[in-house]
Structure formats: C-alpha cells, structure tokens
Amino acid sequence: DQQVKQNSPSLSVQEGRISILNCDYTNSMFDYFLWYKKYPAEGPTFLISISSIKDKNEDGRFTVFLNKSAKHLSLHIVPSQPGDSAVYFCAASDRGSRLTFGEGTQLTVNP
Amino acid sequence: DGGITQSPKYLFRKEGQNVTLSCEQNLNHDAMYWYRQDPGQGLRLIYYSQIVNDFQKGDIAEGYSVSREKKESFPLTVTSAQKNPTAFYLCASTRHNTGELFFGEGSRLTVL
C-alpha cells in the first residue's frame, strides 16, 4: 500500500524555467510533509518542509504548496539551475510517527 | 564535524554470508533508522530505534537484524535469509521521532 506517491519518475526542464514536482498521499492523518534531494551514491539531504496547518512554505528558490483537500503537495523550483539535477523525494509523517517516502522523481535541468 | 558515518561505502558478499553495515552518529540524536533504496521504489524502512536498547521493525525487516547498545551506533546485519540483498542502504537519525532526518552517505551492497 503506497501511501505516498510520486507519479512522475522523471522531469526535464530548461535552465531558468520553473520545475514543478508533484506528490500525492492517501493517509489523511499525515500532518507534516518534507522534500529531500538526493545525488547519486549520496544520502538524501533535507530541502524544505510544511506543516498541515499551512498551505505554502517558501525558502529562496524553493516553494512547497500543500492542498489538503486534494491530498496533494508540490515543490516549485524557480529559477531552475543545472545543479538542481537530482532525485527528489517527498515524505510524510503522522503525528510524530516515522516518515513514509515516495518513489522519487529524477529532475534534469538542461543548460 | 557532526554527522552520520556509514561504512563500508561498497561491499561485496557471497550468497549465504551475513554482512554487517556500520552506522555511527555524533549528533546526539535519539532516533536512528535504516532504509533501503531500490530503483523506482523510493526509500523503504527496514528498522528503526527511538532509544538505546530498543528498536522496531519497519516495512521490510525480514532477513535483517539490528542492535542499539549505544546511542551513537545502530549497526545493520543483512543475513543470508534476506532473499534480495543487493541494494543501496541508508542510515539516518533525528532528534525527535519525526521531522528532518539526517542521512549518511549510504552503503552499496552487492551479492555475487
């Protein structure tokens, strides 16, 4: 039972344009959501998070949007840079429980 | 510098052998986790520990064992009972039960 799903295995965008990565979840008890970035042969690094009491959180070029009614969150990267090319994982937790991760989306930013 | 250290980075094992992956953290974090990454399947939780001398099974614990004798250390043993052990293994820790996880660099295990 995949409670967190990233339906796009890959995404390719041009440098300077917007990257939008999507994530859907099924567990309505999830109340905290995170995005991680992962380069090959390295561990994931934390990027940005959002609590269920908010619908938007921004940190520099990165913005996460949460639509609780649709059980959907998205990560926007503006402007996209070649160094942003990596696998992005979304993750969710339920009231302090362990994190559940999505399958990941490979983002490629072309110069 | 504070962080999580996993070793070895690469490991080869013959079928039928047990192997232990090391994970050490100096972040003074209470909770530690082991994940497995396979292509197209994201990160799946193997075991986690919220306190010394206590640990719980994750979603795919069969064929694995762990111990938590010290706060800083959470080794993972991949036993011969694990049917498909070739994977990239990630150790993580956090001060609280949830929130931001800090990951190690990973260990790639290949069974020959």
B105: left (phi over 0), alpha (psi -120 to 50) or beta: alpha
Amino acid B81: pLDDT? 86
Residue B64: how many other CB atoms lie within 10 Å: 21
The pair of three-digit structure tokens given for residue B96, joined into one six-digit string:
């609280």
**Closest chain B C-alpha to A80 CA, distance in angstroms:** 23
**Binding-face residues of A in 14-53 toward B, CB within 8 A:** 32, 34, 36, 41-46, 49
Provide block-wise average pLDDT over 10 residues at a time, chain A (111 residues): 89 98 95 93 92 95 97 97 96 83 95 93
Q: pLDDT-derived band of residue B7, with 50, 70 and 90 as boundaries?
A: very high
For residue B65, is pLDDT > 80? yes
Residue A36: how many other CB atoms lie within 10 Å: 25
Contact assignment for A43 to B92 by CB distance below 8 Å: yes
- Average pLDDT score over chain B: 91
Going by the DSSP 8-state scheme, the letter that residue A9 receives in this structure is S
Please tell me if residue B84 touches chain A, with a CB cutoff of 8 Å: no
Contact assignment for A46 to B100 by CB distance below 8 Å: yes
For residue B67, is pLDDT > 60? yes
Please tell me if residue B101 touches chain A, with a CB cutoff of 8 Å: yes
pLDDT tens digits, one per residue of B14-35: 888 999 999 999 999 999 999 9
A101, A78 Cβ separation under 8 angstroms: no
